[in-house]
Amino acid sequence: MRPVDDIGLAAMRISEGNLSAHINVSDTDSELGRLATVLNSTFARLEASFAQQMQFTADASHELRTPLAVIISEAQTTLARKRGGAEYRESIAVCLTAAQQMRRIAESLLQLARFDAGQEPVRRSALDLAENARVCVDRIGPLSKERDISIRCDLRRAETCGDTDRLDQLITNLLTNAIHYNRPNGNIHVSTRSENGDVVLKVTDSGQGIAAEAVGHVFERFYRVNKSRSRIEGRSGLGLAICKAIVDSHGGSINVSSEFGTGTTFIVRFPALKAS
């Protein structure tokens, strides 16, 4: 009965505060030994997921504290002595920008939390991803013009089933990044097509690209290659995490390939609409 006692003891040692307890497996060939191995790998996964959750909470608090500190210090400085109307206006504008940044972060966090809990409503209907891409490219036109970025499209029929608003959000996030991380006078290529039973959306830009060591992290929450610069610009590093959550909720996949100094391509695949 020793192995059974060992398993019981290890399970008892495991608590919220101590997820690192493991069962000593001496005999991996026996049935109990194999059970202990399976339990150990489950404990390890739980431990990793707890650690990730704690890091996420710490990052979220930190990201919200930054604009909050701006609001408090701006209000304190302004109230320290009497000021003219123009100064008050300027100060309120600074507070408004910081508050809007907090709202964006809070909305993104809420959306991610709803995805995590499986509560984000995904209203599926038959659609042509080419149409969604066209609408998003049109909407982002003014921003790309402002930055002198030209967008080329090759939008072929790509019929699938999905939530049109969430898919627009996905495409818009990818386009916004392609504009933002591009070079002056750069370009973007957007394509949709059907391929081997999937529909594929590709967004390629001519920007600086992403360094090899960073490329595997871009879908992580709050990850930004250039953290200090992006924070000043009000970027939270949640855009691609939301893209991934949207794609996952549609049973699709999202991948990135990037050549540092040349550009980046995001490829999204969804199952095509099945003929019924």
Encoded tokens for 83: 């000021």
* Contact between 177 and ligand ADP per CB under 6 A: yes
- Nearest CB to ligand ADP, comparing residues 115 and 181: 181
* Contact between 177 and Mg ion per CB under 5 A: yes
Give the shortest CB-173-to-Mg ion separation in angstroms: 6
Separation between Cα atoms, residue 251 and residue 246, nearest integer Å: 9
- Helix H or strand E segment including 215: helix 212-215
Question: With CB cut-offs between 5 and 8 Å by kind, which of ligand ADP, Mg ion, none does residue 137 bind?
Answer: none
Draw the binding track, 220-239, toward Mg ion (x: CB under 5 A; -: no contact): -------------------x
- Nearest CB to Mg ion, comparing residues 8 and 234: 234
* Contact between 236 and ligand ADP per CB under 6 A: yes
Q: For Cα atoms 162, 164, 168, give the angle at the middle one, nearest 5 degrees.
A: 120
> Considering only residues 21, 39, 135, 225, which one is a binding residue for ligand ADP as defined by CB under 6 A?
225
Nearest C-alpha neighbor of 160 from the set 53, 100, 250, 254: 250
Pairing label, strands 187-195, 150-155: parallel
Encoded tokens for 118: 């499986």
Q: Which amino acid does the sequence have at 165?
A: D
Helix, strand, or coil (residue 32) = helix
Give the shortest CB-209-to-ligand ADP separation in angstroms: 6
23-31, 133-141, 145-153, 173-181 -> range binding Mg ion (CB under 5 A) = 173-181
- Nearest CB to ligand ADP, comparing residues 130 and 210: 210
- Whole-angstrom CA distances from 254 to 80, 192, 257, 265 are 51, 14, 10, 11
92-100, 119-127, 147-155, 238-246 -> range binding ligand ADP (CB under 6 A) = 238-246
- Whole-angstrom CA distances from 93 to 70, 90, 99, 261 are 12, 5, 10, 37
**What are the φ and ψ backbone dihedral angles of 203, each rounded to 5 degrees?**
-125, 115
> Considering only residues 240, 245, 268, 272, which one is a binding residue for ligand ADP as defined by CB under 6 A?
240
Question: With CB cut-offs between 5 and 8 Å by kind, which of Mg ion, ligand ADP, none does residue 149 bind?
Answer: none
* Contact between 172 and Mg ion per CB under 5 A: no
Give the shortest CB-173-to-ligand ADP separation in angstroms: 6
Helices (H), the chain: 2-13, 31-79, 85-116, 129-146, 164-180, 212-215, 227-232, 239-249
- Nearest CB to Mg ion, comparing residues 25 and 140: 140
Contact set with ligand ADP (CB under 6 A)? 177-178, 181, 205, 207, 210, 218, 223-226, 230, 235-241, 264
Contact set with Mg ion (CB under 5 A)? 177, 239
